[in-house]
Amino acid sequence: MSIKNCQFIVPGLSSELALKTFEGFFEMNEIYGLYNKNKTPINHKNVRLNQINIESEKEIKEYILSIRDSLKNIVLVNFAACSIDGLSSRYSSNDWDTTFNINIKSNFLFSKYLSPIMIANKWGRIINISSVRSLNGAVGASAYSSSKSALIGLNRSIAKENARFGVTSNILNLGYFDSGLFRKFTPERKVKYLSEVPSKKLGSSNDIYNAIHFLISSDYTNGSVITIDGCME
């Protein structure tokens, strides 16, 4: 499949890292970008930006039905994410539910309603964006880490279910990147996190772009977790 013929559906496109990653796709692809609360203006003829509540199955289903007839070579890239810090002993059930609704349930719902279209077209790509915290956890990140760990099991199951139809599902497990989130950290926190990376460098959106390009072109890579973290300790 030529990457020029793909249509991207990107929940969370309004995040800085997602926008930087997809700049390389704007000129040659049709992009259906979705945002939940925070909208970043994108003025490009190939980008259709819509607001939906990605915690709502009804809204996700209705949105996909509204564009279904326009879809053919679908690449779903689940960039939407929620991270609410807090120690487990003090964490609220509402924050836990919100984190899981956005980080795992929305991934499930987009895959649920797009997979039948991909199967009918005999081709499709599901790319879930996760974090190295899914593997090693972090203080104050029990909900976030748990939700991203759950994504690994979901991804593997969907990959096995859809493989015979030409549909693959994979995860990009990300470390620290030069994005808005990292720049919000305190200087002390930045030093601590960079000390975990042997090269003492942050990741670039080009690393993610190249990984997405590879996963689109590969028919055999399926159910995989590809870690892009600079060999973090």
Beta sheet of 225-228, edge-to-edge order: 47-51, 30-35, 7-11, 74-78, 124-131, 167-174, 225-228
Closest CA to 130 of 158, 150, 101, 160: 150
Closest CA to 78 of 153, 30, 128, 13: 128
Q: Which of 91, 144, 193, 220 is catalytic?
A: 144
**C-alpha dihedral, 48 to 12 to 20 to 64, nearest 10°:** -30
Are 107 and 128 in contact, with CB atoms under 8 Å apart?
yes
The CA radius of gyration of the chain, in Å to the nearest whole number, is: 17
Q: Is 144 a catalytic residue?
A: yes
- Residue type for 170, please? N
Question: Which residues belong to the active site?
Answer: 144
